[in-house]
């Protein structure tokens, strides 16, 4: 019979780092509000939460790498907002922050949730940071919790060869 590993939302005892970009803070502070709501909703104690601010979304991977290597947190949540402008700067920041954050997760083995909005305009950003489209900060925390739990299940699952009679 196939094993199925699915991350649940049991967050008991988890330590979570939340990294927030200061650029577009009118949006990222709303994302942080959603993240804090999710952390409280799932029972993560205030003393088990670290919130760290960086200048912008491009700096999120740098701090995520540093925090992941410390081994202090069970998961990291990255929050940022990049709004398309008149130049190609948007494309570079979006691509590099996404690539960097994903690389940290792969290299470190620590779940790193991507809660960086990449929107066409400020209306889209506001809609996704507590408006009509929900709050991506809340969603990113839930993704991080689920990933921690999948990793834990995987760590405790018997290897395929060991499971055979």
Catalytic residue among 12, 41, 42, 89: 89
User: What is the rounded CA–CA span in Å between residue 108 and residue 66?
Assistant: 10
Beta bridge partners of 113: 77
**Residue 127, Cβ density class (10 Å: 0-12 exposed, 13-18 middle, ≥19 buried):** middle
Closest CA to 73 of 136, 151, 139, 135: 151
Helices (H), the chain: 25-41, 60-70, 89-108, 122-127, 136-156, 160-163
Of 110, 101, 69, nearest to 82 by C-alpha is 101
Active-site residue flag, 89: yes
Annotated active-site positions, please? Answer: 89
């Amino acid at each position: 019979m196939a094993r199925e590993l699915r991350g649940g939302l049991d967050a008991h005892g988890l330590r979570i780092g939340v990294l927030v970009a200061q650029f577009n803070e009118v949006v990222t502070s709303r994302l942080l509000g959603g993240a804090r709501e999710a952390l409280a909703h799932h029972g993560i104690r205030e003393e088990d939460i670290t919130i760290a601010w960086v200048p912008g979304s491009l700096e999120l991977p740098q701090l995520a790498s540093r925090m992941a290597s410390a081994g202090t947190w069970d998961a990291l949540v990255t929050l940022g907002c990049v709004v398309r402008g008149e130049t190609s700067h948007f494309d570079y920041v979006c691509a590099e922050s996404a690539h960097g954050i994903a690389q940290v997760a792969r290299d470190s083995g620590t779940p790193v949730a991507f809660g960086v909005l990449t929107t066409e305009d400020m209306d889209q950003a506001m809609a996704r940071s507590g408006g009509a489209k929900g709050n991506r900060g809340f969603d990113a925390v839930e993704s991080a919790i689920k990933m921690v739990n999948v990793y834990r299940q995987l760590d405790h699952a018997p290897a395929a060869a060991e499971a055979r009679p």
